[in-house]
Amino acid sequence: MDAVYTPNQLSGAQPNPFLEAMPEMLSKEALFCRLACSPPPPDAAQLKPSDRRRGLNALSSVFVPLDYMAVIYNTLFCAMESTYTASATVDSIRRVHAIHQGDGAALAQLPVATSTDSGSILGVPGIGKSSTIRRCLRQIPQVIRHSQYGDSKLYCNQVTWLMVECPGDCSVKTLALNIIEAIDRAIGSSYSDLNQRVARLPSASVLATRVKILCLTHHVGLIVIDEIQNAILTASRNKQSKALIKFLVELSNEACTSIYYVGTPSAEDLFLSQEHLKRRTRGLRLLPMRPDGIYRGFLHELWPYQYTPERAHFTDALVNLVYDLSGGIPAYIVKIFYEAQVQALQAGTERLDDKLIRKAVEMLNIVAPKTYAKGTYLSDFSVCDTDEDTETDTEADTAEALEPEPVRRLYAVPRGRPKAKRDKHDILTLAAAGQDPETAAAVLEQAGLLEVF
């Protein structure tokens, strides 16, 4: 998109075209409208048997926004703005020259960008970290084209974000190439071709320098490194993670680019092992949904997408069974709901039941974790829409009424010993009935269960 400049309070008195070209941050309501995806539910009774199995693929396109997604969107958006707040246009040009010439002294004399943001988003596999981040980033224009700022010509591309995957071999070369290719995809350049015209790839240090210069040249606001736990797996074998982490730290410092790491909780071991990484990798630690109204609302959004001849009722027994078997992990919930219908259609069963759900879990070999490290459950996030001017009291009341109410946990299978039957004169029965001491004593004495001295 072409740059449209609007005054930004963060820029202060110094002109900052890159910060002023940033779009407005979306409200929670606007973000959820863009993120939500709910194709029309099927009328399975009208479908041919051959079309029911094919129609199940629509379930993979259903996307239910949750409050934690608004937190991720706000975090990434603010990280981009912190990059453009920390660097001015003239400083960026000076940094390019200093890095290109390898002049460490000149680079050290430039203003230090202390406000660029770095952090991490770690979570249990299957809760939707990567898909949520990609959807949130797509709500922000990736490339903003500048041509004129005020009375001055300004020809450049501003790349607000890049998302790349941490290489499995923990190689600086591979990660640098991934970043260069991501820039090519974003702006349509051909920097990657320079590496293919030579007999062998440049050294890791040369590629690292190119990445820093490209990030400054195209004003990259944020780089998201996905699957950062790959660095842990490689480090445990050949201890190569230090070079990769050093490159990322230098990239953040010298190119003034915010960096966020995304992965599983196993990456926490690497972050805590390096003192300089602890403050750079703070951020969200995500756990699955609790068995509450948020989970119930999530499953309720999926429930209409049933392709069996008859639709199963949304009962507490089935709802709690799905939670017990999935552990509240969204990817498991969707997969179980999908596979259970596959089993029903193949067996010619009219509707879903508990046996089909259990069989689906057995077919998929799903074993939900029982314990987790420290973190925040997806159900515990609560984000209020701060756009007070556009929301009336009536609208606020309506939105509050639509929020899923917390529900009491009802296990699908009764657990523990059956409750013993007690006599009406039993002390525990009297205590449970709320009898005062005098009345309880009189009843016990009358029944011959109390001796008074």
Same domain, 234 and 175: yes
Domain that holds residue 39: 9-287
Q: What does the block give as tokens for 331?
A: 């990817």
Backbone angles phi, psi at 84, to 5 degrees: -75, -20
Among 287, 315, 350, residue at a domain's last position: 287
Same domain, 187 and 297: no
Same domain, 411 and 356: yes
CA distance 222 to 258: 5
Same domain, 341 and 197: no
pLDDT at site 280: 81
pTM metric for this prediction: 0.78
Asked if residue 103 belongs to a domain, the reply is yes
CA distance 447 to 450: 8
Q: What is the CATH number of the domain that holds 137?
A: 3.40.50.300
pLDDT at site 237: 63
- Provide Rg for the chain, Cα atoms: 29
Q: What does the block give as tokens for 228?
A: 């950062």
Asked if residue 157 belongs to a domain, the reply is yes
Asked if residue 152 belongs to a domain, the reply is yes
Which letter, b or e, does each residue of 197-222 get, where b requires 16 or more Cβ atoms within 10 Å of its Cβ? eeeeebebeebbbbbbbbbbbbbbbb
Q: If DSSP codes are grouped into helix, strand and coil, which group holds residue 154? A: strand
Asked if residue 1 belongs to a domain, the reply is no
Same domain, 166 and 20: yes
Number of domains observed in the structure of the chain: 3
Same domain, 392 and 282: no
Same domain, 169 and 100: yes
Same domain, 346 and 424: no
**Please, what are the averages of pLDDT over each run of 10 residues along the chain (453 residues)?**
78 74 92 92 80 85 93 93 70 52 50 67 92 95 89 86 87 88 91 69 83 88 90 64 77 83 85 76 91 92 91 92 93 94 88 92 88 87 65 42 42 58 70 66 71 69
Same domain, 258 and 337: no
Same domain, 345 and 267: no
Asked if residue 93 belongs to a domain, the reply is yes
Asked if residue 2 belongs to a domain, the reply is no
Q: What does the block give as tokens for 223?
A: 């780089």
pLDDT at site 405: 40
Asked if residue 3 belongs to a domain, the reply is no
Asked if residue 193 belongs to a domain, the reply is yes
